[in-house]
Amino acid sequence: MRYLELREKLIAMFEANGIDEFADIDWIMVEILDVTRSMLPFYGDINGEKEHKIMEAAKKRVNHVPVAYIFGKTNFYGYDLKVNENVLIPRLDTEVLVEKLIEDIKSRNEKVSVLDIGTGSGAIIITIQKETNAKCFAVDISSAALKVATENAKTNRAEVEFVKSDLFEKISDLKVDFIVSNPPYIETEVVKTLDKEVVSNEPNLALDGGEDGLDFYRRIIKDAKHHLNKNGKLYFEIGYNQGESVSALMKDDFEMIEVIKDYGGNDRVVRGVLKG
Ligand SMILES: C[S@@+](CC[C@H](N)C(=O)[O-])C[C@H]1O[C@@H](n2cnc3c(N)ncnc32)[C@H](O)[C@@H]1O
């Protein structure tokens, strides 16, 4: 079968199942045919075995499994990362947080230290380490997530010290220049209403931020001052409607608090400097 013919067949299958993310069809084909997206229309006859593999992957996708989980990998900020059901699939939105932090670290012109809380796949801290050569630490409460993050650091040759810890619990003596976190921040009631792709596949541990979504911000802000060096900075990813509430939580211990938007125009990052 030719590419266009198979694509039409898959579009019909997606539509019949109420899925309109047709770019995923190309992503599946790119993975299985091992060509770039622009080469797909020029691919010759897709043999029976490859067609079967494409159909199997498409069936998973219409059963609401995200493509990153089907193939066990994704790309974040140019870095290839393994993912599985124990880690959140790193989002494009998180690149804004990483970009701002990289800019800030580079402007320091000195070796700094960074701690990532709730590292998941390691996307944030691996990128920071590769882009800035900072001394990097990361924690997660999930051993399964840390296994993925450790493997990702190794394949990307990033030096990161990973610790299994409930927030700061197992790193009581650690002090750094920057703390960064994309914590679980979705309100418990809202988690249930998310797309099936998210709620049935991604770990609840990575999503549920408690009744008002702010549990982790409260806990991290409460202890961050004990783990930041002088002029240390705290960087958070936030939900689109959490800019004001997270800034308010930070104001006792932090100054120069800023809310930064993502490329979709939504509030996405809050950062602040530890008060002297
Ligand atoms: C929203 S995910 C972020 C993952 C990754 N940093 C990213 O941006 O793609 C939140 C992460 O926090 C971790 N987590 C949840 N509760 C935690 C806790 N009490 N202590 C440390 N990590 C926790 C979860 O296992 C999950 O990996």
86 close to ligand 1 (CB < 6 Angstrom): no
pLDDT of residue 10: 97
The domain limits of the chain are: 3-63, 86-274
| CATH class given for the domain over 86-274 | alpha beta
CB 166 less than 6 A from any atom of ligand 1: yes
Q: What is the best residue among 75, 101, 182 to mutate for testing ligand 1's pocket, by most ligand atoms within 8 Å of CB?
A: 182
- Give me ligand 1 centre to Cα 162, in Å: 13
Q: Relative to the CA of 142, which ligand 1 atom is closest? A: 25
Query: Looking at the domain that runs over 3-63, which CATH code has it been given?
Result: 1.10.8
274 lines ligand 1 (CB under 6 A): no
220 within ligand 1 shell (Cβ under 6 A):
no
pLDDT at position 182, please?
98
Q: What is the pLDDT of residue 55?
A: 97
User: Tell me, what's the pLDDT at 44?
Assistant: 87
Ligand 1 within 6 A of 163 CB?
no
- Is the CB of 145 inside a 6 Å radius of any atom of ligand 1? yes
Cβ(90) – ligand 1 distance below 6 Å? yes
Does the beta carbon of 123 lie inside 6 Å of ligand 1?
yes
CB 181 within 8 A of CB 116: yes
pLDDT at 206: 97
What's residue 175's pLDDT? 98
Q: How many Å lie between the centroid of ligand 1 and the Cα of residue 22?
A: 30
Collapse the DSSP code of 102 into the 3-class scheme (helix H, G, I; strand E, B; otherwise coil) and give the result.
helix
CA dist., res. 152 & res. 146, Å (int): 10
Among protein residues, the one with the nearest Cα to ligand 1's atom 17 is 141
Give per-10-residue mean pLDDT for the chain (276 aa): 93 96 96 95 93 98 97 98 98 97 96 98 98 98 98 98 98 98 98 94 96 98 98 98 98 98 96 96
Q: For residue 243, with 0-12 CB atoms within 10 Å meaning exposed, 13-18 middle and 19 or more buried, which class applies?
A: buried
Atom number of ligand 1 nearest to Cα 97: 8
Q: 92-110: b or e for each residue (b if 16 or more CB lie within 10 Å)? A: ebbbbbbebbbebbeeeee
Ligand 1 midpoint to CA 184 (Å): 6
Q: Which residues contact 192 (CB under 8 A, 6 or more apart)?
A: 199
How much distance in Å is there from the Cα of 207 to the middle of ligand 1?
8
- The count of residues in the chain is 276
